[in-house]
Each structure stands twice: as C-alpha cells, then as structure tokens.
Structure 1
C-alpha cells in the first residue's frame, strides 16, 4: 500500500464520516473490523450506500434480495446485528423494495460502528501505526 496523504489519516480520527468517505479509509477500517470479526457492518453499510444509487426497478429488487440474503435474514452468512422490528420490516418489504428499504437498518449499523467499532479503531495498532508514518 502506498503512502496515504497526511490529511486523510488525520481526518479519519475526526469522524467516522471522514473515514468512510475515503476509499483507503474504508479498506483500512475493514481490515480492522475483520480482526474483530465484525466487517459485515461496514460491508452492509457500503452495500446500502450503493443500493440507494440504483434507479432501475429490476436491478433494485435483485440488489435488495442479495443484501437481504447476505446480511439481513436470520442465519445470513454475514448477519448484521439489528433489532427484530427492523429485520421484520425489511422482510415484509423485500418483494417490493423501495429506495429506503434498508435506511433504518443502515442507520442502526452506522450507530453501532460509530459508538462501538470506530473508537476501538482509533486506538488500534493499525490506525496508530499509520498515524506514526505521517
């Protein structure tokens, strides 16, 4: 991996948004989450972000079903930690998914990352060693 611009690495420490806006930041954060076995949170969040850009109805339905199967349904291979009401709501809408189908779940996962994973990331070896290279 090449040297990351100074501003980026420092900015990642300012907010989770800064971190997620940066492609390298996403990758580094994903590496960190993998060490905690929680990369599904980030992968789901990114999948939702891409999902919202889809305008074609057929593509949207396919993408929604894929996200549902991978992250949302009970026993999904990368099941995310959301409340049962949200999970149920998505299950009911999955046959006719709208643009906002995953919004509530995405917000919950963002909150989980922001309050739980992100503070640990900032203290992690991975992040600290990048900072020291500045």
Structure 2
C-alpha cells in the first residue's frame, strides 16, 4: 500500500476518478497505466497491457527498418507460441501476424491489439475497478 501512496502524490484526483469512467481514460494516463499494470501483475496478466502499449508505440514508427526490428521484437516477446509474455489470441490471428513479419506495416498487429483491448475492457478492467487497489486510491482521492 505504500506504493499506492506514492502513486497518489503523482496522480491528480481528477485522473483517479476518470479511470473509473472508461478504460480509455485509464490507458491515456501514464500513472493509470502503471497502476493498471500493477493490478494486472497480481492477476498474472500484465502481458496484455504491455502488448497493447508495445503496439501503440509500434504504430508511431515511420522508418521501415525500425518497424521491422520492432515487429520481430513484439512477435518474439508476445505473439509466438511459448513467448516469454505470450498473449492469448487465436491461431488465425497469430498466423496472420507471422505472415506480416516479412513486410511489416503499421497495422501489422491491429487485429491482435483489438482482441487484447477487448479482453482488458471486458474482463480485466471491471475487476480492476472492484479491486482493493483502485478502491483505496479512490477513497484517498
């Protein structure tokens, strides 16, 4: 809980309240991302957020060589079977990404990112809102 106190000194009250309004508010806020990642770690599912954030950063890359390196890194870390932080996606999506790796484009991970976003929005996020971690932050705010 000491961590939560340090988070509160950085998180404006409005932000903490906004996190409860939508997952988008939570994900748009750097402190919100950190708190949500902490929560997901307690559920052994932080790979979902880390993958989503990696995809957001990937979409900002403009140089082809950087895009290729980043795409392979994301694939190795999150997508391939037995990846260290393997995300839970269907085999069709996994294969589609593998095929895109030869010539990666900005939307290479779009389908997988949508699936993971949906999983977080409908499964992880509601549990986060009910969690002691969020409730304590809300009370202190």
Length, aligned pairs only? 134
Confirm whether residue 80 of structure 1 aligns to residue 87 of structure 2.
yes
Where does structure 1 differ by over 6 angstroms across 4 or more consecutive aligned residues?
none
Match of residue 89 from structure 1: 96
Q: 1:41 aligns with which of 40, 48, 64?
A: 48
Distance in 2, matches of 1:125 and 1:14, equals: 17
Show the 5 A alignment for 1:115-130. 115-130=122-137
Superimposed CA distance per residue, residues 59-104 of structure 1 (whole angstroms, 9 cap, x where no aligned partner): 0000000000000000000000011110010011112111100000
Q: Please, which runs of 5 or more residues in structure 2 have no aligned partner? A: 1-5
Asked if 1 retains the 8 angstrom alpha-carbon contact of 2:10 and 2:31, the reply is no
TM-score (normalizing by structure 1): 0.98
Q: Distance in 1 between matches of 2:101 and 2:85?
A: 18
